[in-house]
């Protein structure tokens, strides 16, 4: 009896194992054509996804447009060597001026006055040092002048309305013909001036003390050596005109400074904050 039961049990177990093996799925490798088709489909999906990302860049700022880099603001003008291709903005001069220099040979020697701006033009030697500047570029707002006919102590008078005519009448100056020009979009007149004196109408005490030379005092801010060559540009701003003076110690120096000053004047803006 027990042998019958044991045999029956083995048959049932064997039958169950055969049934379980029959129901398990068969594992076969995919066909090569199917693998290639799937790879191509995945690659196309990746390309479409990357293209969609390139056509729809992530928005920043207010969510409506991409962020745009703003141009650098002007740099406040202090004394010292100026850097080319930087827009400088005056801090004290009225009205505000801004400009750009083309090289590193300009030196700002006076920037703290509301009526005077002085840029010295320097010369670099072969060993890289700087020597005495051949001239300078001055922007002045002339409110007063020195009356040349007063032989006593320097006499200040209000700046004349016709500054050109007043300069022509000055005994220490030789003034050439005026021609119309435009500076910073404003009408102006330009004329050459040469300083000539044996004894100045009014000597500049500070020039004698600091430079050990005799200068003629034209305005409280402007005095010049004998022989100085200049170009004056009177710009018709309100309420007083702006006066731009390009000066050199001689004719050759003036030509050097004039060439260097051209890009400065071309970039000049008047009255910008």
- Asked if residue 228 and residue 170 are part of one domain, the reply reads yes
Instruction: Using pLDDT thresholds of 50, 70 and 90, give the confidence band for residue 146.
Output: very high
- Asked if residue 145 and residue 15 are part of one domain, the reply reads no
Within a domain: 169: yes
- Asked if residue 109 and residue 26 are part of one domain, the reply reads no
Residue 115 is part of a domain; what is its CATH number? 3.40.1000
Domain that holds residue 18: 2-55
- Asked if residue 10 and residue 144 are part of one domain, the reply reads no
- Asked if residue 19 and residue 81 are part of one domain, the reply reads no
**Mean of pLDDT values over 143-148:** 93
Task: Decide if pLDDT at 11 tops 60.
Answer: no
Give the tens place of pLDDT for each residue, 233-268: 999 998 889 999 999 999 999 999 999 999 999 999
Give the tens place of pLDDT for each residue, 34-62: 444 444 454 455 444 444 444 444 444 44
- Asked if residue 216 and residue 91 are part of one domain, the reply reads yes
Instruction: Using pLDDT thresholds of 50, 70 and 90, give the confidence band for residue 28.
Output: very low
- Asked if residue 81 and residue 6 are part of one domain, the reply reads no
Please report the pLDDT score of residue 30 as a whole number. Answer: 44
- Asked if residue 43 and residue 175 are part of one domain, the reply reads no
Within a domain: 178: yes
Give the tens place of pLDDT for each residue, 95-110: 999 999 999 999 999 9
- Asked if residue 139 and residue 27 are part of one domain, the reply reads no
- Asked if residue 96 and residue 14 are part of one domain, the reply reads no
Please report the pLDDT score of residue 152 as a whole number. Answer: 65
Within a domain: 229: yes
- Asked if residue 79 and residue 51 are part of one domain, the reply reads no
- Asked if residue 111 and residue 196 are part of one domain, the reply reads yes
Within a domain: 192: yes
Cβ neighbors of 234 (< 8 A, separation 6 or more) are 163, 164, 188, 189, 190, 241, 242, 243
Within a domain: 61: no
Within a domain: 60: no
Long-range contact list for 68-77, CB < 8 A, 24+ apart? 74/98, 77/108, 77/111
Please report the pLDDT score of residue 211 as a whole number. Answer: 85
Within a domain: 68: no
Within a domain: 204: yes
**Mean of pLDDT values over 17-25:** 46
Cβ neighbors of 178 (< 8 A, separation 6 or more) are 164, 189, 190, 191
Cβ neighbors of 50 (< 8 A, separation 6 or more) are none
Q: How many domains does the chain have?
A: 2
């Amino acid at each position: 009896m027990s042998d019958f039961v044991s045999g029956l049990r083995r048959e049932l177990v064997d039958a169950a194992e055969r049934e379980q093996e029959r129901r398990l799925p068969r594992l076969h490798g995919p066909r090569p054509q199917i693998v290639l088709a799937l790879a191509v489909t995945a690659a196309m999906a990746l390309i479409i996804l990357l293209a969609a990302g390139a056509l729809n860049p992530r928005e920043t700022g207010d969510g409506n447009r991409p962020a745009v880099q703003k141009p650098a603001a002007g740099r406040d003008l202090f004394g010292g060597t100026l850097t080319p291709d930087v827009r400088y903005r005056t801090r004290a001069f009225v009205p505000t001026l801004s400009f750009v220099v083309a090289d590193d040979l300009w030196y700002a020697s006076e920037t703290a006055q509301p009526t005077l701006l002085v840029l010295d033009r320097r010369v670099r030697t072969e060993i890289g040092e700087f020597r005495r500047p051949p001239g300078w570029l001055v922007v002045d707002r002339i409110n007063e002048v020195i009356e040349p006919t007063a032989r006593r102590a320097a006499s200040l008078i209000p700046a004349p309305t016709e500054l050109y005519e007043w300069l022509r009448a000055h005994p220490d100056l030789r003034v050439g013909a005026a021609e119309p020009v435009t500076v910073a979009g404003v009408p102006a007149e330009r004329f050459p001036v040469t300083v000539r004196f044996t004894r100045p109408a009014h000597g500049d005490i500070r020039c004698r003390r600091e430079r050990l030379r005799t200068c003629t005092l034209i305005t409280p801010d402007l005095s010049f050596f004998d022989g100085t060559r200049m170009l004056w540009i009177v710009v018709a701003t309100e309420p007083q005109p702006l006066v731009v003076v390009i000066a050199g110690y001689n004719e050759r120096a003036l030509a050097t400074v004039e060439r260097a000053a051209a890009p400065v004047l071309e970039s000049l803006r008047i009255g910008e904050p």
